Amino acid sequence: MNQQLDEHGRLRHLLTTEGLPRDLMTRILDTAESFSGVIGKSVKKVPLLRGRTIINLFFEPSTRTRTTFELAAQRLSADVLNIDVATSSASKGESLLDTLRNLEAMQCDAFVVRHGESGAAHFIARHVNPGVAVINAGDGRHAHPTQALLDVFTIRREKGAFEPLTVAIVGDILHSRVARSQIHALMALGAGEVRVIAPRTLLPSHIQRFGVRVYEDMDAGLDGVDVVIMLRLQRERMRGALLPSQGEFFRRYGLTEKRLERTKPDAIVMHPGPINRGVEIDSAVADGPRSVILQQVTNGIAVRMAVMSMVMGAGGETTAAAVQEEQLS
């Protein structure tokens, strides 16, 4: 889907990690790396997007994602407007297109969009004025590219190169936009092997076509992996005959210290959050030494700063250079 690249191959929108070229993805990660220095400083702001307006347009509730986008925008000195559509005009029957047109009339420069329907971010990107950027903050089951990018950023920081790594993604793959985006990102970055582990009811059809190995048995799937990514299991999955109970799911697919023994001794444990303790992950693991779950949250800010600066034309290596200058001055 090249809708997200301009004619020069630069990032115009960020809608999905599928089809995102490896060098571009690496550039996002490098840029994020340079921003992560800013975050640690006492003055946490750079003026890259001063005078620009970013609208966080959330049609689904979210705390973590919206907050980190908001922080990222503020640290780039942009003006941020949070619009929680779940409680505003959409519930009054306004169409997505009308909502968009009204917000555009307020002269914004970028939309960060979360929506319950797959393809919503593509739809918005197709309909915005030229020059307005769209960042997908999660659409239906389709994609959550910034989450996947912060995950590979975290993996790169912890592990270095991707080639030797075996990564296992565990749980509700069927409904997970995060898993889809992670798989595409890991594949593009050349990860040695990506596994998905789930009961058949939570595996989407033809997932092998993404290039992953499918495991229905968790112990076998965790054997010798470097990275374990646990997915959140929504409580409503117990309805609709996907699973018999949370207890049975945890017994077969929950990550415990005992199960973690199957992995490499230095394996890291990740989770996009929010975690369900005792449903997909045991507290001892979530809070344990292998867990990098909170680092993921921190890294989310730098990665989102990188994406925002790049899609808003302050982009790429120039951004990194500008930041370094900023830091020196």
Partner 1 sequence: MNRLAIQGGHLVDPASNRDGPADLFIADGTVVAVDTPPAGFTPDRRIDAAGCIVLPGLVDLSAHLREPGASRKGGIVSEARAAAAGGITTLVCPPCTTPVMDTPSVVELVHSRAHEAQAARVAPLGALTQGLEGEHLAEMAALRDAGCPAMADGGRPVSHTLVLRRALDYAATFSLPVVLTPEDPHLAAGGRVHEGETATRRGLPGQPAATETAELSRILALVEETGARVHFARISTGRGAELVAEARLRKLPVTADVAIHQLYFTDLDTVEYDTAAHVRPPFRTQTDRDALRRAVADGVISAVCSDHQPHDPDAKACPFADSEPGISGVETLLALTLRLVDDGLLPLTEAIRRLTHGPAGCLGLEAGTLAPGAPADLTVADPQAVWRVTAEEMLSRGRNTPFLGWELTGRAVTTVVGGQVVHPPRPPVSYHR
CA distance 115 to 31: 27
Q: Which residues, numbered 56-95, are part of the site for partner 1 (CB under 8 A)?
A: 95
Sign of CA dihedral 68, 287, 232, 155: positive
Between 64-75 and 145-159, two packed helices, what is the crossing angle to 10 degrees? Answer: 80
Q: Does 220 bind partner 1 (CB under 8 A)?
A: no
Nearer of residues 210 and 249 to partner 1, judged by Cβ:
210
Site membership for partner 1, residue 177 (CB under 8 A)? yes
Region 99-118 residues binding partner 1, contact defined as CB under 8 A: 115, 117-118
18 binds partner 1, rule: CB under 8 A = yes
- Specify the residue, 106 or 241, whose C-beta has the smaller distance to partner 1: 241
Exposed, middle or buried, 299 (CB in 10 Å: 0-12/13-18/19+)? buried
Asked if residues 303 and 32 have their Cβ atoms less than 8 Å apart, the reply is: yes
Residue 273 and residue 275: Cα distance in Å, rounded?
A: 5
Q: How many residues bind partner 1 (CB under 8 A)?
A: 25
Contact with partner 1 (CB under 8 A): which of 12, 27, 122, 304? 122
State the nearest-atom distance from the C-beta of 97 to partner 1, in Å: 6
Please report the beta strands in 160-256, taking only residues with DSSP state E, as ranges in sequence order. Answer: 166-170, 193-197, 213-215, 227-230
Please report whether residue 12 would count as binding partner 1 according to CB under 8 A: no
Structure tokens at 186: 């890991």
Among 209, 236, 239, 328, binds partner 1 (CB under 8 A): 209
Quote the least distance from Cβ 96 to partner 1, whole Å. 6
The interface with partner 1 within residues 126-145 (CB under 8 A) comprises: 139-143
Residue with Cβ nearer partner 1 (101 or 157): 101
Assigned token pair, 149: 């990018």
Does 20 bind partner 1 (CB under 8 A)? Our answer is no
**CA 254, CA 170: separation in Å to the nearest integer?**
9
By three-state DSSP, how is residue 14 classified?
strand
CA distance 213 to 73: 37
Cβ at position 180, least distance to partner 1 in Å:
6
Residue at token pair 């994609």: 143
Single out the residue of 101, 119, 187, 318 in contact with partner 1 (rule: CB under 8 A).
119
Q: Quick check: 304 binds partner 1 (CB under 8 A)?
A: no
Going edge to edge, which strands form the sheet with 133-139?
79-84, 53-58, 110-115, 133-139
Q: Is 53 in the site for partner 1 (CB under 8 A)?
A: no
Q: Does 232 bind partner 1 (CB under 8 A)?
A: no
**Residue 37, both tokens:** 């220095």
161 binds partner 1 (CB under 8 A): no
Residues lying near partner 1 in the complex (CB under 8 A) are found at 1, 18, 95-97, 115, 117-120, 122-123, 139-143, 177, 180, 204-207, 209-210
